[in-house]
C-alpha cells in the first residue's frame, strides 16, 4: 500500500485492519531509485504479531527483497538496525537523500506505554541496494 502524510504532517501508518501489510511512503524515493525508500509496518496488534514483528532481529548483512508495482524486484542488504526513542527520531537520516538507492524499514519497539497506547521507541533498519531484477515501465 502507499502512504503519505496525515493532516498534521506526520507520516501515515498502515491501518491496524491491515497489520500484516507494510506501506511505502510515496513522498520519498521508490524502492531501487536513488534516495531513501521508506517502508512502514506495525510490530503487533491486540490480536498478535504484525508484519514487522521480527524487524528488530535483523542483523547487518541480512537481505530483503521488495516487489515493485512495475514488476521489478529490488534486493537490499542491511547495514545497521537501531532502536531509538520516538522523541529523538532521526528524521534526516531516515528521509534524507543518502546519495544512493537505500531502504529504511520502520516499526515500533521498546516499552508499550498503556497510558498513551503507543510504544516508546522506533526500530529502524537501514540498507542499500544490491540488485534489481525484471523489467517494467514506470518508476514506482
Structure confidence at residue 69 (pLDDT): 86
User: The C-alpha cell of 37 is what?
Assistant: 525508500
Q: End-to-end alpha-carbon separation of the chain, Å?
A: 12
Please count the other Cβ atoms lying within 10 Å of the Cβ belonging to residue 47.
8
Average pLDDT, the chain: 93
Q: Would you say residue 137 has pLDDT above 60?
A: no
Cα→Cα distances 93→8, 56, 80, 89, Å = 21, 18, 12, 9
What is d(CA 103, CA 39) in angstroms, rounded to the nearest whole number?
8
CATH number for the region 2-133 comes to 2.40.260.10
Give Cα 11 to chain centroid, integer Å. Answer: 11
Entry field: residues in the chain: 140
Q: Would you say residue 17 has pLDDT above 50?
A: yes
pLDDT in tens, 62-119: 999 999 988 999 999 999 999 999 999 999 999 999 999 999 999 999 999 999 999 9
Place of cell 491501518: 15
Torsions phi, psi of 17, nearest 5?
-70, -15
Q: Would you say residue 24 has pLDDT above 70?
A: yes
Please count the other Cβ atoms lying within 10 Å of the Cβ belonging to residue 125.
24
Higher pLDDT, 134 or 51: 51
Q: Where are the domains of the chain?
A: 2-133
* Stretch 44-63: mean pLDDT: 96
State the pTM of this model: 0.91
What is d(CA 106, CA 118) in angstroms, rounded to the nearest whole number?
15
Amino acid at each position: 500500500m502507499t502512504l503519505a502524510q496525515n493532516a498534521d504532517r506526520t507520516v501515515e501508518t498502515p491501518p491496524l485492519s491491515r497489520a500484516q501489510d507494510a506501506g511505502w511512503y510515496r513522498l520519498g524515493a521508490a524502492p531501487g531509485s536513488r534516495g531513501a525508500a521508506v517502508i512502514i509496518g506495525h510490530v503487533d496488534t491486540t490480536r498478535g504479531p504484525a508484519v514487522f514483528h521480527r524487524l528488530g532481529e535483523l542483523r547487518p548483512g541480512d537481505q530483503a527483497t521488495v516487489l515493485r508495482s512495475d514488476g521489478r524486484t529490488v534486493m537490499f542488504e542491511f547495514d545497521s538496525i537501531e532502536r531509538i526513542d520516538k522523541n529523538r527520531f532521526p528524521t534526516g537520516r531516515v528521509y534524507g537523500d543518502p546519495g544512493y538507492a537505500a531502504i529504511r524499514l520502520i516499526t515500533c519497539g521498546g516499552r508499550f506505554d498503556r497510558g498513551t497506547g503507543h510504544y516508546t521507541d522506533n526500530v529502524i533498519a537501514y540498507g542499500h541496494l544490491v540488485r534489481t531484477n525484471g523489467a517494467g515501465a514506470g518508476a514506482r
